[in-house]
Every structure is written in C-alpha cells, then in structure tokens.
Structure 1
Amino acid sequence: MKVQRAIESKLSEAFQVHRLQVENESHMHSVPPDSETHFKVTLVSPDFEGCSRVKRHQQIYRVLAQELAGPVHALALHLYTPEEWQATGESVPASPGCLGGSRKDPAMAARQQGGKS
C-alpha cells in the first residue's frame, strides 16, 4: 500500500479536502497479486470551484506526476466541489470491468468472473 499512501498523502497536502477516497482497483485487472497500478480517486474540494473538468484533472496530474510516471498505470478521477458532491447524492460511479489483457487470457478471465481455472 505504499503507492496508495503516497497518493493519499500528496493529495491531502495539495488540496483542501472535504472528502478523499483512494481505492486500489488493481485486483480488477490483469496484474500480479498485490499490485498498485490501477487507482480510483474521489476528491471533494472547494479548490475545484470555477475549474473545468480538464483543469481539475491537470491539477491532479501535476501533484501525482511521479506516480503517473512510474507505478501507476491507470487513474480514474472523480473530482467534485462540495456542492457538486451533494448533488450526486454523495455517490461515486462504479468502475467498469477490465477490458485489457484478461480478455485474451481465458484463465485470468475465469478467475475475475469467479470461475475456476
């Protein structure tokens, strides 16, 4: 959980956080066990007031440049102002299933669907 903690720490330091949730979704993808390569970040901050979705993402990319240049392969971002967060009913969309390598690896696909290989 070294990468996950680094992401949490950097975002907490860079933004005024009303809510921060960093989820390691690597287990949902074709990577070795205990990987830290795929993350979903939900961040609610007044720092996003007046910023477009693109500008919000750019802010995150700057803060996490080191992680994105190294161990992090995928980063799903759900970025809200406090008002936007309330309007969502305080819920984050579910992440889609992996469409990458597991599609080509029948054994991995069976494991992800709960089957046996």
Structure 2
Amino acid sequence: MGETRRRFDPEFRAGAVRIVRETGKSIAQVARDLGINAGTLANWVQMDRLAREQDTGSGVGELAESEREELARLRRQKAEWAKERAERWSVMSSSARWSSGSRKRRAGERGGLHRFPEDRA
C-alpha cells in the first residue's frame, strides 16, 4: 500500500533552505541530516531562489552591464569569424575550379562512383 504524504510546515521548509544557503553543505547532505528526500529539498531551494530573484528584480532575462558588453563583443567576434570563413571558402572554391580540370582522378579517390566504403567491395 502507498505511504501517506508527509506535510512540512513553512517554518521547517524555510529552516532547511536556510541551512543549505548558509552552510554551503550539499542539498543531499542536508536532506540526509533532516531525514527528508533530497528531491523535495531541491525543489524548496529552487522555489526560494526564484522568489529571491523576483524580489530583487534581477530576473533571468535581464543582463548586467558587463554581461551586455561581453555579449556584444562575442557577437562582433562571431560575425568577424563568419566573414573570414566565407572568404576562405570563396578562395578555396575558386582555386579548386582552376585545378580540377588539369588532374585526373585515380581509382578509389574521393568523389568516385562509390559513396559508401561498403559499396567498394
């Protein structure tokens, strides 16, 4: 038969979360010490963290000034790398066009009739 659900009063929950926050112990360790399930305590800690974020106004979607600057820098760097990559592909494809006609393919070389190694047998 199923076990009856234990009810924990708000003071117990708050005390358990405070122990995790203030002592630096792992959730699993605190849960073992208190005799409760680690998943239950993890849920309480997460709810507390989300409530604190809402109270302070620093939601998940908002970035600090330094984070915005780093994001802008990384986006510029990504655009620069994409441009360099496009230029390299352009150079490689134009040089391949000029050299491909002067070279004959050898048997078994890439680009032959067989797409998969098992088809070559």
What band does the TM-score fall into relative to the shorter chain? under 0.3
Greater Rg by CA? 2
More strand by share: 1
Q: Which has the higher contact order (CA 8 A, sep 6+)?
A: 1
More helix by share: 2
